Structure 1
């Protein structure tokens, strides 16, 4: 899926400072505790394996994967330095520093020093840049080049749960052709040589929890700074994001979680 329209605003951390998303969200995506545990199990076994999480945010899914695989190591890469600092602090607090490393850099420019046994690209196909219509293909291609033969890709990517109406498309910054159906997404993965091991999708409840977490940072700031010179600007951004959600993609844009076996 494209980066949430609120993310760039929350992540910039320029005045006025908005609270980081991890204060209200466990995962940077529509993902429950139960589903996260199930997705991690789909990557196992990871004995003595190396896991890459690209566009990792604060890397909660990677850290939990390492906790489930005590001999595995992991690397998280994300352009946002604040998120990487949070990931590093969490790794230290959970005793994972020796097995987890993090890089605040552009994924498209970063090169690992060894092949991975598993790659996670969760709602982050945009990190390779380019035309949004090519984001999924870019991610599938890049992940395959990073994986050893027989490795696994955990791909969290958008798809249309139902055909968006013209009114919905007009209300959200996502071109119709950026996504197809869930079956189309799986077929695309297969054309890149992968085989599907498991497929599921975020529920509406998971989406709502995620979207609510995005909105809370703005609303809390507006509550605490009603007379700020920036209040009108922040209110407009919050209102735009809310309309993207409620008049655009809610109940129409899905997020698929695919566990894929690399050739």
Structure 2
């Protein structure tokens, strides 16, 4: 679950996501599909901005329950599915916006997931529809020690320009891009550290809480030493057809 202080589980600034949402034109007969929707924040923002209908898919029932609460005001226009995105078929829905922000892993292992996400979601779109995809990228070649510390691989991500170029090779036209700032990343990472430390303070004798706090302490050290200047996160609005 997303820790306190974050609206969704990615480092992108709220204003950047809102600008992307405002850049698409969705009517009452259109559908916005959010794969890996989490607690429903991005889908809620789409439905509060546009008169379209929405479909949210996440395999975590707890996230879907949270999304149900977040989407209360537009509940008559949204369908939520607690299922594996790879097994979900939107059928004849008039999908004009397909969203996957920070959840491309649902379509495969790192290094392949971004391409597979673009290919899979593009097939759900009606002609002229758009993808809104958030994906990590390397700001610089990762230090081997950073990879060893985090368990990531050098081929897990492309660069920011390469993410855009790959979309173009798949006949997707880039309409807008954005990148999380270092301040955005600091806030995102800090929320996880703070949540882990708070849980340990609340339950000092809990082995799971202790292990989680140690994990995030190791992650924090790797982030501050290498990750802050190495790993980026981009948001891509891409038009098909």
Match of 1:58 among 39, 53, 56: 39
Aligned-pair CA distance for 1:144: 0.9
TM-score by length of 1: 0.85
Q: Distance in 2 between matches of 1:102 and 1:256?
A: 26
Q: Residue 148 of structure 1 aligns with which residue?
A: 126
Q: Which residue of 2 aligns with 1:128?
A: 107
Paired with 2:32 and 2:176, the residues of 1 have a C-alpha distance of: 18
C-alpha separation in 1, matches of 2:152 and 2:217: 17
Q: Secondary structure at the match of 1:45?
A: coil
How much does 1:172 deviate?
Answer: 2.1
What is the aligned partner in structure 1 of residue 74 from structure 2? 96
Please give the residue correspondences for 1:224-263 in structure 2 after superposition, counting only pairs within 5 Å.
224-263=202-241
How far is the alpha carbon of 1:169 from its aligned partner? 2.4
Q: Does 1:187 align with 2:165?
A: yes
Question: Contact 1:171 / 1:247 at 8 angstroms: preserved in 2?
Answer: no
Name the CA distance, whole Å, in 2 between partners of 1:232 and 1:118.
41
Alpha carbons of structure 1 residues 231 and 125: separation in structure 2 relative to 1, 3 Å: closer
CA contact (8 A) 2:13 2:184 kept: yes
Which range moves more in the overlay, 53-62 or 174-183?
Answer: 174-183
User: Pick from 56, 60, 65: which aligns with 1:76?
Assistant: 56
RMSD: 1.6
For the 8 Å contact 1:115–1:147, the answer to whether it is kept is yes
Q: Which residue of 2 aligns with 1:4?
A: none
Q: CA deviation at 1:244?
A: 4.2
State the alpha-carbon separation in 1 of the partners of residues 8 and 202 from structure 2. Answer: 25
Give 1:175's aligned residue.
Answer: 153
> Is the 1:62–1:76 contact (alpha carbons within 8 Å) kept by the matching residues of 2?
yes
Once the two structures are TM-superposed, the CA of residue 155 in structure 1 deviates from its matched residue by: 0.9
Q: List alignment gaps of at least 5 residues for structure 2.
A: none
**1:205-224 counterparts in 2 under 5 A?**
205-224=183-202
- The equivalent position to 2:98 in structure 1, one of 109, 119, 123, is 119
Q: 1:193 to 1:172 in 2, by over 3 A?
A: same
| Counterparts in 2 of 1:222 and 1:177: CA distance versus 1, 3 Å | same
Compared CA separation, residues 212 and 117, structure 1 to 2 (3 A): same
Provide the rounded CA distance (Å) in 1 between the counterparts of 2:77 and 2:71: 9
Measured in 2, the distance between the counterparts of 1:230 and 1:141 equals: 38
Q: 1:116 to 1:231 in 2, by over 3 A?
A: closer
8 Å CA contact retained: 2:43, 2:54: yes
Number of corresponding residues: 239
Structure 1 partner of 2:138: 160
